[in-house]
Structure 1
Amino acid sequence: MTRSDLIEELAARFHQLTQRDAEQAVKTILEAIEDSLVRGQRIEIRGFGSFTITHRQPRLGRNPRSGEAVQVPAKRVTHFKPGKALRESVDDPSNILTSAASPKNNDE
């Protein structure tokens, strides 16, 4: 699902929202999530999952083309841990058949 798909879905489910209102709502939510992560805060959405920032130490990597050693700097990365309800929903065999018949299957 892309951002535009999410906006269309939101507008379709809530008829009182225009396409522009749905777009603004999605934009606001995503910006709030991004701002919180940039500040190093943990985000928890009950029933969905949590986003945290983890720190990766600097390490020595290899250039796959030349095999040359390359220093990879330390960085902060986003980690998502799905909540129990999301894990169970994704793992439910009855949901697999429904999603496989979906016209927007991106596995092709």
Structure 2
Amino acid sequence: MNKAQLIDSVQEILGGDTSKRAAAEALDAVLKAITKGVKKGPVQLIGFGTFKPVERAARMGRNPRKPEIEVEIKASKTVRFVASSALKDSL
């Protein structure tokens, strides 16, 4: 499912009075809130899952075509999603 399909789904769930634009704005607001919140710490959505900020340590990587060539991969920050048991059970 891509973002356009997700907007259509949100519009359908909210009902016939909801425009596609309103559904898109609602989805964008939720995504912005999650993005802003995960900068401060974990964002937990009960029944769905948790978005956690994670730091990756610096490490050495290898070129798969030329294993003798090592490349330093810098430390970075990323986000990890952990699904809730309710979400896992719904699959």
Opposite residue 26 of structure 2, the aligned amino acid is: A
**What is the aligned partner in structure 2 of residue 29 from structure 1?**
30
Distance in structure 2 (CA, Å) of the matches to 1:45 and 1:9: 19
Q: Let me know the Cα RMSD of the aligned residues.
A: 1.1
**What is the aligned partner in structure 1 of residue 9 from structure 2?**
9
Secondary structure of 2:40's aligned partner: coil
- Point out where structure 1 has 5 or more consecutive residues left out of the alignment: 91-108
Aligned pair count? 89
Q: Scaled by the length of structure 1, what TM-score is found?
A: 0.77
Higher relative contact order (CA 8 A, sep 6+): 2
Q: Scaled by the length of structure 2, what TM-score is found?
A: 0.90
Distance in structure 2 (CA, Å) of the matches to 1:25 and 1:75: 30
Identical counterparts, % of pairs: 29
**Higher normalized strand content (fraction of residues):** 2
After the TM superposition, which residues 33-52 of structure 1 pair with which residues of structure 2 at under 5 Å, given as runs?
33-37=34-38, 39-52=39-52
**What is the aligned partner in structure 1 of residue 85 from structure 2?**
84
Describe the superposition over 1:16-43 as per-residue Cα deviations: whole angstroms up to 9, x where unpaired: 2101000100111111111222x23210
Distance in structure 2 (CA, Å) of the matches to 1:40 and 1:12: 33
